[in-house]
Homo-oligomer: A and B are copies of this chain.
Amino acid sequence: MNTPRRATIADVAQAAGVSKATVSRFFNHRERLLSDDIAARVEAAIAQLGYTPSPMAQALSRGRSRLIGLIVADITNPYSVAVLRGAEKACQDAGYLVMLFNMGNETGREREAIDALAGYQVDGFILNTLGRGAGVVDAVATHGKPAVLVDRRHAGMTADFVSLDNPGAMARICAHLLDNGWRELLYVTEPQQGVSTRRERAAAFGACLAAHPTALRGEVFESAEGEDEALVQALRALRRRAGRSRRAAVVAGNAVITLRVAQAMNRLGWQFGQELGFLGFDDPEWASLIGPGLSTLAQPTDEIGRTAAGCLIERLHGLEGPAREMLLPGRLQVRGSSAAPIKAA
């Protein structure tokens, strides 16, 4: 069973009794210049040999590869995966293949990732990375390939940007909590540390408080990985602050925090919506299963991914113009954890 070598363009040319150029034209400039007679012969030869052009060779020759490089900060993150899913589908539908690079949360490998992908002549990048590594901006610039940023901006980088409308989402969250009688809020976020999304959301939370200076009171708490005890204490403090007269709720800044807060509540033996209100982020699959149900702000992850891929592909098709910013609206999924107190009948 020796290797029945893939048919090449030369094989087809020979079988059809034409030149390689003609075969190439059959694929690239068909209608424009090719006689029916020859076209038919080429087509037959192609069918007979089961010929498919080698994308590798095409890439080398054209300088374009129909490959899109997707760099993800951490593929463990369900958000990243959800986006990846949407993007991958859109790319496939447009005839592009995705090359995946997972950084495993190791900041600083960004440059390495970009270079590796660029080596394979990817036509463009979709970046969902931390945005801390300095190299990214000029790494992308160097290769002169278009890129689109997902969820996280990169300082000084001018590229299409796709993300949740954070201010809008946070406004909706706060309005909902306000409506339902929650007065003392705690916004829990991962360390903000130069990650644009986290800063934006925290800022938006602050803005909401400022908009209701008398009704709402709130603080921001940064919860780092592994420091579970600190979070538990923060929740205790929150309840203490609220006292008997005000109802207290916690708002999670992303899916990781949502889980972490849920675990902390579990440790405390507190019920959502009872001892503490809770509004999570990213609508995990278990939101409806736990206690009275977890209210969440669901991101349109699939659409974010599709939009990002769409933006990039438009650029690849030649779209010029300034960097765009696509902010997609979130959806408030109300469940029991943020419900208004039951009025005495």
- Determine whether A57 belongs to the interface, using a CB cutoff of 8 Å to chain B: yes
CB-based contact B286/A286 at 8 Å: yes
Whole-angstrom distance between the alpha carbons of A259 and B171 in the complex?
A: 32
- A85 & B89 in contact (Cβ 8 Å cutoff): no
A101 within 8 A of B: yes
- Verify if A18 is at the interface (C-beta below 8 Å from B): no
The closest CB in chain B to the CB of A98 belongs to: B100
Of the stretches A114-122, A307-315, A319-327, the one at the interface is A114-122
Task: Give Cα A54–Cα B88 distance, bound, in whole angstroms.
Answer: 25
Q: Does A181 sit at the interface, judged by CB under 8 A?
A: no
Residues of B within 8 A of A70 (CB): 100
Size of chain A's interface in residues, with CB distance under 8 A?
Answer: 46
Binding site secondary structure of chain A: mixed
A285 within 8 A of B: yes
Please report which residues of chain A, range 53-76, place their CB below 8 angstroms from some CB of chain B when the two chains form the complex. Answer: 53-57, 59-60, 65, 67, 70, 75-76
- Is A297 at the interface (CB under 8 A from chain B)? no
> In the complex the two chains form, is B100's CB within 8 Å of A52's CB?
no
Closest to A72 in B: B88
A84 B88 Cβ-Cβ under 8 A: no
In this complex, what residue of B is CB-closest to A103? B92
Interface members, chain A 133-147 (any B CB < 8 Å): 142, 144
CB pair B75–A81 under 8 Å, yes or no, is yes
Q: Is the CB of B284 within 8 A of A286?
A: yes
When the two chains form their complex, are residues A121 and B52 in contact, meaning their CB atoms are under 8 A apart?
no
Distance to closest chain B CB from A111 (angstroms) = 12
Number of copies: 2
Decide if A97 touches B116 in the complex (CB within 8 Å): yes
**Is A289 close to B, CB under 8 A?**
yes
Shortest CB-to-CB span from A123 to chain B, Å, is: 12
Which residues of the other chain, B, contact A54 by a CB distance below 8 angstroms?
Answer: 60, 119, 121
Partner of A100 from the list B3, B99, B115, B286 (CB cut-off 8 Å) is B99
Residues from chain B with a CB closer than 8 A to the CB of A98 are 99-101
What is the bound-complex CA distance between A288 and B290, given in angstroms? 11
Given contacts A3-B144, A285-B259, A288-B263, contact A102 B88 (CB under 8 A): yes
Report the minimal beta-carbon distance from A17 to chain B, rounded to whole angstroms: 26
CA distance A104 to B84 in the complex (A): 12
Give A59 to B84 CA distance when docked, in angstroms.
Answer: 27
Q: Which residues of B sit under 8 angstroms from A177, Cβ to Cβ?
A: none
Q: How far is the CB of A93 from chain B (nearest CB, A)?
A: 10
In Å, the complex CA distance between A56 and B99 comes to 13
A320 CB → nearest B CB, Å = 14
Instruction: Give A218-270 interface residues, CB cut-off 8 Å to B.
Output: 259, 262-263, 266
Hey, which chain B residues are within 8 Å of A120, CB to CB?
55-56, 67, 97
B104 A89 Cβ-Cβ under 8 A: yes
A56, A60, A88, A98 — which one has the most chain B CB atoms within 10 A of its CB?
A: A56
Whether the pair B259, A115 counts as a contact (CB closer than 8 A) is: no
The answer on a CB contact under 8 Å between B99 and A99 is: yes
Chain B residue with the shortest CB-CB distance to A100: B100
| Closest partner residue, chain B, to A119 (CB atom) | B55
Complex interface bits, A151-169 against B, C-beta within 8 A gives 1, otherwise 0: 0000000000000000000
